[in-house]
Amino acid sequence: MNEAQVEKEFLEYVKKMSAYNEALGLVYWDLRTGAPKQGVDQRSEVIGMLSSEVFKMSTSEEMAAYIANLSKQELPETTRKILEECKKEYDRNKKIPAEEYKEFVILQSRAENVWEEAKEKADFALFSPYLEKLVAMTKQFVSYWGYEENKYNVLLDMYEPGMTIEVLDGVFDKLKDKIIPLVKKIADSDNKPKTDFLFEAFTKEKQRDFSLEILAKMGYNFNAGRLDETVHPFAIGLNPGDVRVTTKYDENDFRTAVFGTIHEGGHALYEQNIAKDLIGTPLCTGTSTGIHESQSLFYENIVGRSLPFWKNNYGLLKTFANGQFDQVDIMDFYRAINESKPSFIRIEADELTYPLHVIIRYEIEKGLFNDEIEVADLPTIWNDMYEQYLGIRPENDAQGVLQDVHWAGGSFGYFPSYVLGYMYAAQFKHKMIEDIPNFDQLLVEGNLLPIKEWLTKNIHQYGKMKKPLELLKDITGEGLNAKYLIDYLYEKYGEVYQLT
């Protein structure tokens, strides 16, 4: 077989894996948006079968031969990057026995369903055995893979290539140094925003209608997506022509759905705008969870919680709301939606305290994987840390350790991405306003398309063609720098709380 023929076959092989992953993505979306309960056990089998097939393909002798064979060739850039991804996956997966991996995938799916019930009943004990098994199996996987200094680094690297405890400890310390005193200063401030009007009744249907309008303004393409309801919101890119957003509604706090939808919409814009020639390859997705999160947090916080954005949208909001904002000045509204106050639920936390929520999870995961923490002790440890970092103690496990789906899905090492994304977002914004100096004015006019175009041109289109730090360097000319986030937070909260 000649060289071009091998490359062509390899790309066909990869396309098949992508197709299976797309089917799996649809199964997951369906399970989280309305699949009938009694079909779930059998559906878990389906997930197990398909995942184990993809797993087998990623570790097959055929794959080994492609890697060996093509590594010696001069390849077009795209094929070379695809091969790199496959090799990384191969090296990572080859060491796990196929049966164990399949068991893990079935466990994940069951665990997510048990977690849902446990959360509803606020009963960690229901979920605990599943989490123990997930942690134990993940540790076993890390030992199969091998590690140098710290087991947890292996997990971090899965989501953010090159990330380590050493780096994170450093960045997170800087953030804590600056955030904790600012949180305290705000707590001591007499200048607190009024917020009562935020919690007045706002029907689900009207929240949905408003959210749909905002998604459209952001440039979300409804011919390539849809909005559904779920318990724990997510966005999922099945292919760039089918990127779905999900949200949840709280009729006594419209912010859950509105900012949640903007957040997931940010993820969705990334996936909708990946270059079409990457379809059917492993490069057709965001380059890392941190960069992905930079897109959602950029839209949610830097755009969605800004004063210029609401200058454009406050009137529109009033047309959907129930009169509760009619007597509220826009400045009071802006201050209200940016209230900073320690709270229990990460995804509802304000921008300032948010990093502390993440740092708690990071430290717990680090402890679990270094055998310093037992799963059974998690509710107490969790609650103790909330008390220590944020000064508040959850009343039950639903508002504590059970709040996030991540661990039920077997995702350990994922949480730090949120704060990385936050730092990336602030750093991108700093560069963006050099290119788009009328950024604020565009928001006031409701013209968000130049912002989407900038992000597509600099980030979205590349999918996984560029690594996170390569992307950051190409755009901003420097490495990761926590300064931009800290500056942004000090400027914003200085304004909101009129600090001197």
Residues that bind a second copy (CB under 8 A): 15-16, 19-20, 22-24, 26-27, 30, 34-43, 45-46, 48-50, 221-226, 238-244, 279-280
Sign of the torsion angle spanned by Cα atoms 445, 450, 455, 456: positive
Nearer to a second copy, 164 or 221 (CB): 221
- CA-to-CA dists, residue 457 to 77, 83, 135, 231, 368, angstroms: 19, 24, 39, 33, 40
- CA-to-CA dists, residue 383 to 119, 187, 266, 378, angstroms: 16, 21, 31, 8
Q: Which two structure tokens, joined as six digits, stand for 248?
A: 């949840």
Nearer to a second copy, 132 or 229 (CB): 229
Q: Which two structure tokens, joined as six digits, stand for 440?
A: 């604020």
Computed on alpha carbons and rounded to an integer, the radius of gyration of the chain in Å comes to 23
Closest CA to 334 of 375, 301, 355, 306: 306
**Separation between Cα atoms, residue 378 and residue 363, nearest integer Å:** 12
Least separation in angstroms between CB 272 and a second copy: 9
Q: Which two structure tokens, joined as six digits, stand for 100?
A: 């164990």
DSSP helix/strand/coil, 191? coil
Least separation in angstroms between CB 59 and a second copy: 18
Least separation in angstroms between CB 236 and a second copy: 11
**Separation between Cα atoms, residue 67 and residue 87, nearest integer Å:** 7
What residue spans of 203-353 are helical by DSSP H? 204-218, 254-272, 289-297, 307-320, 330-337
Angle, CA 28 vertex, CA 15 and CA 142 arms, to 5°: 75
Q: List Cβ<8 Å contacts ≥24 apart for 178-185.
A: 178/486, 178/489, 178/490, 179/352, 179/353, 179/355, 179/356, 179/489, 180/356, 180/389, 182/352, 182/489, 182/490, 182/493, 183/340, 183/342, 183/352, 183/353, 183/356, 185/497, 185/499
Least separation in angstroms between CB 291 and a second copy: 23
Nearer to a second copy, 48 or 355 (CB): 48
Nearer to a second copy, 82 or 375 (CB): 82
Nearer to a second copy, 20 or 144 (CB): 20
Least separation in angstroms between CB 18 and a second copy: 9
Establish whether 300 is a catalytic residue.
no
Least separation in angstroms between CB 223 and a second copy: 5
Could you say which of 7, 89, 264, 351 is catalytic?
Answer: 264
DSSP helix/strand/coil, 329? coil
Nearer to a second copy, 59 or 301 (CB): 59
- CB contact burial 400-428 (16+ within 10 A = b; e otherwise): bbbbbbbbbbbbbbbbbbbbbbbbbbbbb
Closest CA to 193 of 302, 337, 295, 78: 337
DSSP single-letter state for residue 281: S
Least separation in angstroms between CB 45 and a second copy: 6
Nearer to a second copy, 98 or 433 (CB): 98
Least separation in angstroms between CB 120 and a second copy: 16
Nearer to a second copy, 237 or 394 (CB): 237
Q: Which residues are catalytic?
A: 264
